[in-house]
Amino acid sequence: MKRIEGRALLAFVAAGALFALAVGDEYLLHLCVLVMVYAILATSLNLIIGYVGEFPLGHVAFFGIGAYAAALLSVKAGYPAWATLPAAAFLAAIAGFGIGAITLRLQGPFFVIVTLAFAEVLRLIAGNWVSFTNGPMGIAGIPHPAIIDLGGFFSGKRGYALLGLTLAAVSLFAAYRFVYSNAGRAAVTIRENRYVAQSVGIQPWRYALFAFVIAASMAGLAGAFYAHYLSFVGPEVFGFSFTASMIIMVLLGGKGTLTGPVIGAVAVTVLEEYLRETKELRLTLFGLAVMGVVLFAPTGVVGALHRRLARGG
């Protein structure tokens, strides 16, 4: 399993690089950028859902923290993107440590409600603290990364696609190292049975918090890149729509796997664009798709493929 997932992730990175270098259409490169953002986001959420076994409906809070951190540091403090990206990930990790230290002592619906409330509080702050966040008008004029403005082959959306691919590769590598480390195995043990984990000397809160902080930093990194890409950030980055998309990607691709969220990110991004003309109807279609997956393929696309390969073997 470890070798298969490692090769699959390398194949995704290689395919992404080939696509970004070979394709010249701006719209397709835009889709590639969105895939990279969502791949990071879905992977970060999967670390909590798929490996710790908790369901944070407020995970979008860390995405928003990263986006606003990058916007404020670049627009108001004048820091370049190469500094705002890691700074945003670090600030999101600190926020993840703070909220995780509290919420991970809770379980079940209590954990879900508190994390959701945390994201909603941040949305209200971003929308009402006009002197700091510019309120509902948001922060505009976020500068592009310097490499994008140099011109040439790596300018424009191709440069963003390659930068997004680099950030996604780093995030996937971090997730891979965590999952196949002792901490990742401990997290899986906690997911399966918290009391058995305690009986063998594993501290559930400690390892769950470690996964939570990693996931928060990855979401913050995705948010910072998203802010630099759009050159604008507003309170909607704390909206539930991002969380819904992340959940669909994880469930569709397969939670508890590294390749599942990546497959889900590609599928959902393409389907969202293809179904854009259907407007609100696409949410219904996505809801039906998730219901179908939960009922008939609860382990997602990757889980179904693994079962078929096992039967074939």
- What's the rounded Cα separation, in Å, for the pair 255 and 88? 26
The answer to whether residue 113 is domain-embedded is yes
State the pLDDT at residue 219: 97
pLDDT score at 239: 87
pLDDT in tens, 179-210: 999 999 998 888 888 888 888 888 888 999 99
Question: Does the pLDDT of residue 151 top 80, yes or no?
Answer: no
Burial 2-13 (b: 16+ CB within 10 A, else e): eeebbebbeebb
Terminal CA-to-CA distance of the chain, rounded, Å?
15
pLDDT value at residue 127: 93
Indicate the number of domains in the chain.
1
Q: In this model, does residue 313 exceed pLDDT 60? A: no
Any domain includes 91: yes
Q: What range defines the domain where residue 47 resides?
A: 2-239
For 211, residues 6+ apart whose C-beta sits below 8 A from its C-beta are: 47, 48, 51, 52, 178, 183, 184, 187
Q: Is residue 313 part of a domain?
A: no
The arithmetic mean of pLDDT across residues 3-18, rounded, is 91
- Asked whether residue 244 is assigned to any structural domain, the reply reads no
Contact 258, 176 (CB under 8 A): yes
Give a yes or no: residue 274 inside a domain: no
User: Does any domain span residue 159?
Assistant: yes
**Is the pLDDT confidence value at 298 over 90?**
no
Q: Which residues contact 91 (CB under 8 A, 6 or more apart)?
A: 65, 66, 69, 220
In this predicted structure, the answer to whether residue 312 has a pLDDT above a threshold of 70 is no
The better pLDDT of the pair 261, 300 is held by: 261
Residue 42: predicted pLDDT: 95
Per the prediction, the chain carries an average pLDDT of: 89
pLDDT computed for residue 4 by the predictor = 82
Q: What is the mean pLDDT of residues 85-111?
A: 91
Is the residue at 195 inside a domain? Answer: yes
Q: What is the pLDDT of residues 234-244, one digit of tens each?
A: 999 998 888 88
Residue 39: inside a domain: yes
Q: What pTM was estimated for this model as a whole?
A: 0.92
State how far the Cα of 69 lies from the Cα of 140, in Å rounded to an integer.
Answer: 13
* Average pLDDT of span 265-277: 85
Stretch 108-123: mean pLDDT:
89
Q: What is the mean pLDDT of residues 16-40?
A: 94
pLDDT reported for residue 30 = 94
Average pLDDT over residues 156-168: 93
281-297: pLDDT as tens digits: 777 777 787 778 777 77
Residue 35 burial (10 A CB sphere; 0-12, 13-18, 19+): buried
Q: How confident is the model at residue 309 (pLDDT cuts 50, 70, 90)?
A: low
Q: What is the pLDDT of residue 109?
A: 82
Whole-number Å distance between alpha carbons of 289 and 185? 31
